[in-house]
Amino acid sequence: MGATLGILGGGQLGRMTAMAAARLGIPCVVWTPDADSPASQVAAETIVAPWNDSQAAAVLAAKVDAVTLEFENVPLDAVRALTELVAVRPGARCLEVAQDRLLEKTFANDLGIATAPYRQVGSLDELGRAFQDIGGPAILKSRRLGYDGKGQTRLNQSGDAPLAWEEVGGVPCILEGFVPFEKEVSVIVGRGLDGACRAYDVMENHHENHILRRTLAPAAISPAVASQAQEIGARLASALDLVGLLAVEFFLLEDGTLMVNEIAPRPHNSGHWTIDACTVSQFEQLVRAVVDLPLGDPQRHSDAEMLNLLGNEASMVSDSLSQPGTCVHLYGKSEARAGRKMGHITMLRPRT
């Protein structure tokens, strides 16, 4: 294709992006602060340097035609500086919104898209007032850097506020009202430079201890709800002027109402099944969008169930390797820790 792609971040999402790019003949250069990262094992080249290293930014920009990212917590200043040297897709505006839960929810609400009720919290006194407004139970979440249940805690009554504030670390937060949802679902939308959007089938997600455990594709929801989720994903991506992928997590209420929970401008764990069940995976779609190739067909050819392998489970996949319709993906991480995502298994079934 004649292009070279830069990837910010060296985790498993960068690894699978680099592998998808290689299918298209596109070499990848990974910039990561971590040595021996999963992505570095499959990339053409790796730059190991901290995010504030301006020389590393210049070296990367000189080697690639465009840059994308595999996680949204790259410092904004680093992305803005890199943007002066090379196209970064998605850009700093997308990251600014996705990195901050307050901006994220305000952005959705400004578009008329529903979220759980929330209040900004900057002190213990503000937390007390916010709890009086929203009521319990409620979830206190740090505005920035939380994932897989980190940086959040539950309040059932007003007396829980001091301990909750201490647990989250006394950082800027939001207090989010508890939503009695029926299902958690998500959608992934690819958006190209020309503004074209292509959405994958909506998937149903099951969590354990705040970590995604299992994803079913397609979700067991009505066609109308699925279409609405895809439309919301496209609206958010377009409003952000995003180029790349946008993953949108929803709460689905019993009455069919969809509430946006979180957005992520990158490949998403709930979309890993697309590698094996779709002609064009979420990772290839990202590459296509960022290097300005036509977006691919996101339709699935099979139903799928994706199971995350956590901790030591990745060392016990020998039986899965012999199961028909089962695809094993290991991420090459050197250390297994409790709750750490070490790989995933996708089980394919005939499309229904």
Bigger pLDDT: 20 vs 322: 20
Helix 76-83 with 54-63: angle, nearest 10 deg? 50
Distance from C-alpha of 300 to C-alpha of 276, rounded to nearest angstrom = 9
Summarize the confidence of residues 103-117 as an average pLDDT. 97
Summarize the confidence of residues 231-240 as an average pLDDT. 98
pTM of the model: 0.95
Contact 251, 261 (CB under 8 A): yes
Hey, which bits of the chain come out as E strands? Answer: 5-8, 28-32, 45-48, 66-69, 118-121, 138-142, 152-155, 173-177, 183-191, 197-199, 203-208, 211-217, 244-252, 258-264, 302-310, 326-330, 341-350
What tokens were used for 130? 């916010």
Look at residue 8 in the predicted model and tell me its pLDDT: 98
Percent of the chain, pLDDT > 70?
A: 98
pLDDT over threshold 90, residue 280: yes
Look at residue 136 in the predicted model and tell me its pLDDT: 85
Hey, which bits of 265-315 come out as E strands? Answer: 302-310
At 148, the pLDDT band (50, 70, 90 cuts) reads low
pLDDT over threshold 60, residue 149: no
State phi, psi for 309 to the nearest 5 degrees: -100, 115
Q: Which of 240, 249, 258 lies closest to 195 in space, CA to CA? A: 240
Q: Which of 176, 178, 174 lies closest to 120 in space, CA to CA? A: 174
Distance from C-alpha of 230 to C-alpha of 270, rounded to nearest angstrom = 15
Q: Which of 269, 296, 277, 274 lies closest to 285 in space, CA to CA? A: 296
pLDDT over threshold 70, residue 51: yes
- Count Cβ atoms below 10 Å from residue 148 Cβ, excluding itself: 14
CA angle 189, 310, 13 (to 5 degrees): 35
Distance from C-alpha of 349 to C-alpha of 230, rounded to nearest angstrom = 23
Residue 316 contacts by C-beta under 8 Å, 6 or more apart in sequence?
A: none
Q: What is the mean pLDDT of the chain?
A: 95
Look at residue 158 in the predicted model and tell me its pLDDT: 86
Look at residue 316 in the predicted model and tell me its pLDDT: 86
Which residue(s) pair with 5 in the sheet? 28, 66
pLDDT over threshold 70, residue 75: yes
Look at residue 193 in the predicted model and tell me its pLDDT: 97
Summarize the confidence of residues 196-202 as an average pLDDT. 98
**Which H helix or E strand runs over 170?**
none
Distance from C-alpha of 54 to C-alpha of 44, rounded to nearest angstrom = 21
**Secondary structure class of 274 (helix, strand, coil):** helix
Query: At which residue do the structure tokens 């590698």 appear?
Result: 275
Domains, in order of start, for the chain: 5-88 (3.40.50.20), 117-177 (3.30.1490.20), 183-350 (3.30.470.20)
Maximum distance among all Cα pairs of the chain, rounded to whole angstroms: 61
Look at residue 2 in the predicted model and tell me its pLDDT: 77
